[in-house]
Amino acid sequence: MTALIEACEVSRVVGRRALVDRVSLTVEPGETVILLGPNGAGKTTFLRMLAGELVPSAGTIAWEDAPIARWKPRSLAAKRAVMSQSHPPTFPFSVFEVISIGLEGIGRGCDRRRRLGAIEEALAAADLAALAGADYGTLSGGERQRVQFARALAQLRIGGLSESRQVLFLDEPVASLDLCHQLVLMDRAADLAAEGIAVVAVLHDLNLAVRYADRLVVLAEGRVRAIGRPATVVGPQLLRDVFGIDLPIGGAPPADMPFVLPQLHRPRRAAGSAMDESFSGRTDPVAAIGR
């Protein structure tokens, strides 16, 4: 079985600087690959090349054994969805409209019920059912990120009707989210991975990355410093050399200082729907439509 994505010695050079320097990576269905590294390491640039937005200066990227350039935009759109860092549109759109627009490309041939169903599921998964009619411009940063997440989900669902072996790209998906929603979102991503969808994410939070990654890819200055399972990759040497921090791994702070670790988080799944009532504390979304 061919790799879902195969990136081989990929570089991106702008001016004199190599933002990404000969990085190789394969991505298989159902696995969660998390890109870690200090600022300016080239994580987002690499992700954007994998997703097909940027063209590498050197090296190859192949999806299902076919060079990415040969993929038709529509087919690629059915194969993968990208959650970028949030852009606020300057125009009044409702949350529902934002997600609905996300289906413009691939949702064409789809019938209305399917589309609405995908949107509904995405809203629920991102805990946005109550905000479906809200003006996107009035939302907080975190709420907007969840909308972008929902949009990516909806696109994946509709794309899944024509393509199997899909990929979800997440570029700093939890940057503005409160801790609860950070965990909810990463749980949803993990659910997708369990269904067979590959997840490639850029994260800054080391603990969160360790908790959710099947494989970690540590980048610094455009180059790979380590690839592998979190347990083998994260060590004091890496922390010092790459991240420039000198902290012991697994050490506990003094007794009078509380610490909370996402590593201990266990998602509680409600039967049937993807709605995680216990964490969000929200009521039934159907009844909550107001705005």
Partner 1 sequence: MSIAGDLSPPASLEELVRRRTVLVGSTVAVVAAIFALVAVVSLGTGALAIPADRVVAILADFAAGGADTNDRDTLVLLSIRLPRLLTGMLIGATLAVGGALMQGLFRNPLADPGLVGVSSGALLAAALTIVVGDALLARHAVAAGFVALPPAAFVGGLVTTLLLYTVATRRGQTSIATMLLAGIAVQAVAGAGIGVLQYLSDDRQLRDLTFWTMGSLGGATWSKLAIVAPVLLACLAVVPFLARGLNALLLGEAEALFMGLSVQRIKFATIAVVALGIGTAVSVGGLIGFVGIVVPHVLRLFVGSDHRALLPLSAAGGAVLLVGADTLARTVVAPAELPIGIVTAVIGAPFFLWLVASGKRSLT
Asked if 33 touches partner 1 (CB under 8 A), the answer is no
Q: Is 232 helix (H, G, I), strand (E, B) or coil?
A: helix
Q: Which is nearer to partner 1, 101 or 249 (CB)?
A: 101
Which residues 176-215 are close enough to bind partner 1 by CB under 8 A? 191, 195
Q: Are strands 32-36 and 215-220 parallel, antiparallel or unpaired?
A: parallel
25 forms beta bridges with 7
Residue 81 CB, nearest distance to partner 1 (Å)? 7
Q: Which residue carries 């192949």 as its tokens?
A: 62
Four-residue CA torsion sign, 281, 89, 289, 171 = negative
Residue 130 in contact with residue 285, Cβ under 8 Å?
yes
Q: Which two tokens stand for residue 13?
A: 């050079």
Among 58, 66, 69, 161, contact with partner 1 (rule: CB under 8 A): 161
Total interface residues for partner 1 by CB under 8 A:
55
Q: Which is nearer to partner 1, 165 or 265 (CB)?
A: 165
Asked if 126 touches partner 1 (CB under 8 A), the answer is no
Q: Which is nearer to partner 1, 164 or 232 (CB)?
A: 164
Asked if 78 touches partner 1 (CB under 8 A), the answer is yes
Asked if 90 touches partner 1 (CB under 8 A), the answer is yes
Residue 230 in contact with residue 244, Cβ under 8 Å?
no
Instruction: Report DSSP state, residue 135.
Output: B
Among 24, 67, 104, 247, contact with partner 1 (rule: CB under 8 A): 104
Binding mask 35-74 for partner 1 (x = CB under 8 A): -------------x--xxx-------------------xx
The DSSP secondary structure of 208-226, one letter per residue, reads HHHHH-SEEEEEETTEEEE
Asked if 132 touches partner 1 (CB under 8 A), the answer is yes
Residue 210 is which amino acid? V
Angle at 80 between CA 78 and CA 83, to 5 degrees: 125
Residues found near partner 1 in the complex (CB under 8 A):
48, 51-53, 73-78, 80-82, 84, 87, 89-94, 96-98, 101-106, 113-114, 116-121, 123, 129, 132-133, 135, 137, 151, 155, 157, 160-161, 191, 195, 274, 285-286, 289
